[in-house]
Amino acid sequence: MDFNFTPEQREFAAEVERFLDDHDDPEVFDLTRENMAQIVDTPKRRAFMREVGERGWLGMTWPKQYGGSEGEGVYEYLLNEALAARGGPQIGKGVGIIGKTLIAHGNDFLKQTFLPMILRNDVEFAVGYSEPNAGSDAASMRLKAERTERDGKSGWLLNGQKTWTTSAHFAEWYWLGTRTDPNDKHRGITLMLVPLDQPGVTIRPIWTMGDERTNEVFIEDVFVPDEYVVGEVGRGFQYISQALDLERFTMFTFSPIQQRLDLLCEYVRTEERDGEPLRNDPVIRSRIARLVTEAEVGRVLGLRVVAASMKAEKAPGTPPPTVESSQYKLFATEYSRRLADASMDIGGPGTQLRVKTEDAPMKGRAESTYRYTVIDTIGGGASEIQKNIIARRGLGLPKNF
């Protein structure tokens, strides 16, 4: 595998950087929100992403018949990493999870309705998989969908609860996993698109230790017409599993981690303790060396996902990079946590001061990173889930080993 970018790819990355320089705005970009920057909604952020869409950078890998340019996945990777490096909104679930699933499995109505809006960034989605008793095990979801008719239309009546639904408080549409067959755990789940502003949908906030809002959502007697069912009834778990490969990669970008490592290295390079430069401390030098080495491992694991995705796109029938995505997600988020621990340890007691405290070590960045990185190891499938996927699908170990 060649880990070097081509001249064309490097030129695209430079073009993106120039665009970001021209649109630099603290209301759009905020590094201190860590990876949660992608789920913050403001009018300025939406307007910025519309400009990204106008340049043809949203849906670059989509087929031309749906408004894409059939570009290689590496360009999407370069764009997303550049946006993440600035603490800005990213291409995220609309282009990736929802858009690509609709292209592969959606009916004509859903494609014609949603794909143009995604490319223009005219719509925000919330993803509803997790429930109080169905977290990383998405196949255990129980939100009930029952066959019914209303006003002469055939469809489904929904009742149940979701939790940890980030974006529900500002999204317009709910990408919702429902239980259509209570007797078949994996073949009884169906995906639907549901408007969030209708009667019967109640959204309540849950505040995380990272100072970000997620939500619990209650659904009571909500009717969904058949045309809003995504793909085949009962095949939702398959579609969700495929989309989770994308989520595990695109939602946990590497550039913010690299930026935090650079910040720590600069602190060690310039700071003194008891009159001695920190950079001369052999224990700190050893720890920094290990962190830098592991950062390169994480970066290359991410590139492996890109390469495997491009291979799957070019060769129909090639399995998606499930194992590679899990390896990257597991390593990157656990490494990010270790990096946060190191920043707190090396920076000393002052790192407990809140983020953006000017006279704190690294301006308090270590404190916010320490809180955020715990969340990263859970979202998109907890580390234990990633280990199970790697063990079973990558190493061929039995389910109960």
* Residue-wise DSSP of 293-310: HHHHHHHHHHHHHHHHHH
Q: Tell if the pTM clears 0.85, that is, is over it.
A: yes
Please give the Cα distance from 110 to 92 (Å, whole number): 19
What are the two backbone dihedrals, phi and then psi, of residue 292, each rounded to the nearest 5 degrees? -65, -40
What's the pLDDT score for residue 220? 98
In terms of DSSP H, where are the helices of 23-181?
Answer: 43-54, 73-85, 92-93, 99-105, 108-120
Q: For 341-399, how does the pLDDT look when each residue is reduced to its tens digit (9 = 90+)?
A: 999 999 999 999 999 899 999 999 999 889 888 888 888 788 998 999 899 999 999 87
The residues near 240 (Cβ < 8 Å, ≥ 6 apart) are 129, 138, 177, 189, 191
pLDDT at 9: 95
pLDDT in tens, 102-116: 999 999 999 999 999
Instruction: Report the C-alpha gap between 395 and 367 in whole angstroms.
Output: 37
Residue 148 exposed, middle or buried by CB count within 10 Å (0-12, 13-18, 19+): middle
Residue 38 confidence (pLDDT): 62
Among residues 347, 385, 190, 325, the alpha carbon closest in space to that of 263 is found at 347
CA-based end-to-end distance of the chain: 32
pLDDT at 36 (0 to 100): 62
Please give the Cα distance from 15 to 12 (Å, whole number): 5
Work out whether strand 173-179 and strand 189-195 pair parallel, antiparallel, or are unpaired.
Answer: antiparallel
Q: How far apart are CA 380 and CA 378, in angstroms?
A: 7
In Å, how far are 92, 97, 240, 248, 370 from 105, measured between CA atoms?
A: 19, 12, 12, 20, 39
H/E run at residue 375: helix 365-376
Angle subtended by helix axes 236-250 and 282-314, to nearest 10: 140
246-301 pLDDT, tens digit per residue, is: 666 666 789 999 999 999 999 999 999 999 999 999 999 999 999 999 999 999 99
Cβ partners under 8 Å of residue 312, min gap 6: 318, 319, 320, 321
Burial of 362 (0-12, 13-18, 19+ CB in 10 A): buried
pLDDT of 70-97, one tens digit each? 988 899 999 999 999 999 998 878 898 9
Q: Is the sign of the CA dihedral 63, 64, 67, 73 positive or negative? A: positive
Q: Could you tell me if 216 and 133 are in contact, meaning their C-beta atoms sit under 8 angstroms apart?
A: no
- Per-residue DSSP letter, 318: P
Q: Hey, how many other C-beta atoms are within 10 angstroms of the C-beta on 104?
A: 12
Q: Which domains does the chain have, with CATH numbers?
A: 7-90 (1.10.540.10), 127-234 (2.40.110.10), 254-394 (1.20.140.10)
Which H or E element spans position 376? helix 365-376
